[in-house]
Each structure stands twice: as structure tokens, then as C-alpha cells.
Structure 1
Amino acid sequence: MLTKQEFDRAAERYLDMVYRIALNYFRHPQDAEDAAQETMLRLWRTDTDFEGEDHLRHFLVRVTLNVCRDFSRSPWRKHTVPLEGCREPVFSTPERSELYQAVMHLPAKYRLPLYLYYFEGYTVAEVGELLGLNPSTVQTRLARARAKLKQELEE
């Protein structure tokens, strides 16, 4: 069980990562905030003894993905309409903004492996483990995501 200081340190260090993963899953800040909050609650309630920072980080990514899946299966989501006027992040250059828009328009099955691989620095095998996929499936999805991005950005 985590002490309050350990939990505070983990939340300070990993909350942004948890939120970004949830945002990549849902594409809506409000849903991502809910998922990040639920993930942190599960961290607070866990009785797992973490063997190090990598174990804690892996636990948080896994729990975040599970929370996102649970939220997306909720009957409540079937009766809601996403807000289209959500604020988008501000980028330093138009190219970065265009790349962000292209990535966010990818289907989740391509967007999540792409995010975990390029932005969070996980290996193909680790992404496969986190998403419950074979490494070859992850490689295929990464290749297809890059091809879709290239096609969209060239248009």
C-alpha cells in the first residue's frame, strides 16, 4: 500500500502521462479527465507493492487503458453526444497543429499504439503487452498509421 507521500509523488510524476493516454483514447478532454481521475483512485486503493518506477509506470498505463475500455463500454456513453467545441491544444507551429489534427483523426486502434510507441517511448513488445496484441499486430498498426498520416498530410 502506498503512503500519502508516495502517492503524491506518483501522481505528480505520472498524472500527465495518464491524462494524455486517456485523451488519445477518447479524443475529448472531459472523458480523459474522468479516466485519469479514476486511474488515480485505483492507484490510491491498490495494495500492490511496486518493485520500482518501471513497475509503477506500467501499472498506471495498464490501469488507464482498462479504465478507458470500461468507460467506453458504459451504457451511459451510448446516450451522450460528444462536445464538438472542445478546446484544442495550442502548438508552436502550424505544422505541429496539422500533425496533431491528423493523428487525432486516426481510428483508436492506430492512434493508441502510435502514441504509446512514439510519445511514451514503449517498445513494440511493450505496446503489444499493454494493448493485449501480438507484437506483429502492433508493427502492422504502426505501419498503417504512418501510411495513413502520410497520405492525409500529403493531401
Structure 2
Amino acid sequence: MQRSMSRPGNHVMKSYETYADMLFRIALVHLGSRQDAEEATQDTFIKLMEKAPEFKDAEHQKAWLIRVITNHCKTMLGRGWRKREVKLEGAEPVTADSPEDLALLQLVLALPVKYKSVVHLYYYEDYPIQEISKILQISASAVKMRLQRGRQLLKLELKGAEPQ
């Protein structure tokens, strides 16, 4: 049996090049901090190196990485030090194509985590409901309900922001 000549970690490097930006955006949506999002992204790739799971295809790997980073973000949010952390207003600029897109993105970032996750995966990462269900390990009906409630919250915020 002939051994593969590829260096260990080549698959991780290729995965990093392919998925790092998407995973960073997901972490940023969850955590709201560039530094925390960078840490979560790094930790996700470290876990990929440590676990070295076998994937059926690229979509299976992508779903695994999203699940890992989502769970890691939830863990980070649950840490006691993070709950006492003081946020600096305006310290992390969020970029968008237009002022309207920026305003909407900021509203999405302000949603509770369970709504923010599904809204981000559905609208910004273009995942269908069934895929989000698998990634977050919740039922499709739970995804639909969270999308509906997230949209309702966004609609309320947008109505409140309109000049009277």
C-alpha cells in the first residue's frame, strides 16, 4: 500500500483557504467582536486538525465546520467573563455596500443569538432551511419559527426607525 505524499495539514490549509472567511463572518455575527471571532475561527481549525474527521464531500465538511464554530461561539457566550465584559460602542466597524445594508446588518447583529444564527445562515450564507436544520441540529420547523420571529423582530425595529 502506497502512502500519500501530501504533507499533513494540507487538507486543513485548503479548508482554511476555502472556509475561513465564511466561518469568521458566522463567528462575528454570534460574538460581535472581531477578536473573539478570530479566536473562534482559529479554534475551529485547530479542532479540525485534532479530530481529523473523514468527510463524505465538501458540503459535509462545510456543515461540520459551521456546526463546530456555532457550538464554540455558544460556549464562548456562556463564559462568565464574557457576560461581565464591557462593549466599546463603535469600536468594531461593520462594513456593508450601502448605508441601508449597514443599518440592516446592525439590526441583525442585535438579534438574540438563536434568531441571529438562522437569519445569518439563511440570508447571508444562502443556506436552505433543511441545511440550517442539519447544521444547527434543530428541526426544520424550529428553523422556520426562528426565521419568522427574527423577521418579526427586524420588522418591528425597522418600523421604529422610520421617521414619523
What is the TM-score of this pair, normalised by structure 2? 0.84
Q: Secondary structure at the match of 1:48?
A: coil
Other-structure match for 1:113: 118
Structure 1 Cα separation of the partners of residues 30 and 38 of structure 2: 12
Q: Which residue of 2 aligns with 1:12?
A: 17
Tell which deviates more after alignment, 120-129 or 56-65: 120-129
For 1:93 and 1:72, the matched residues in 2 are separated by 30
In 2: Cα distance, 1:39 partner to 1:104 partner: 21
4+ aligned runs moved over 4 Å, structure 1: none
The CA deviation at 1:12 is 0.7
Give the alignment's Cα RMSD to 1 decimal: 1.8
User: Which residue is 1:146 aligned to?
Assistant: 151
Deviations 1:54-83 (A, max 9, x none): 111011001101211222222332443233
The higher radius of gyration belongs to 2
Q: What is the identity, as a one-letter code, of the residue corresponding to 1:145?
A: G
TM-superposition CA deviations, 1:49-108 (whole Å, max 9, x none): 222111110110011012112222223324432333322223232111111122112111
Counterpart of 1:41 in structure 2 is: 46
Contact 2:76 2:82 (8 Å CA) reproduced: yes
| Residues 101-110 or 72-81, more deviating | 72-81
Percentage identity across paired residues of the two chains: 36
The residue type equivalent to 1:39 in the other structure is: T
For residues 141 and 60 of structure 2, the distance between their equivalents in structure 1, rounded to whole angstroms, comes to: 24
Aligned residue number for residue 73 of structure 1: 78
Matches within 5 A, 1:88-99: 88-99=93-104
CA contact (8 A) 2:28 2:36 kept: yes
Separation of aligned partners in 1, 2:74 and 2:95: 28
Moved more, 49-58 or 145-154: 145-154
C-alpha separation in 2, matches of 1:101 and 1:47: 36
Structure-2 separation of matches of 1:89 and 1:10: 25
* Amino acid in the other structure paired with 1:41: I
Partner Cα distance (1:87, 1:78) in 2: 18
Gaps in structure 1 of 5+ consecutive residues: none
- Say if 2:37 is the partner of 1:32: yes
- In the alignment, structure 2 segments of 5+ residues that lack a partner are 1-6
Q: Is the 8 A contact 1:106 1:145 kept in 2?
A: yes
The one-letter amino acid of 2:76's match is F
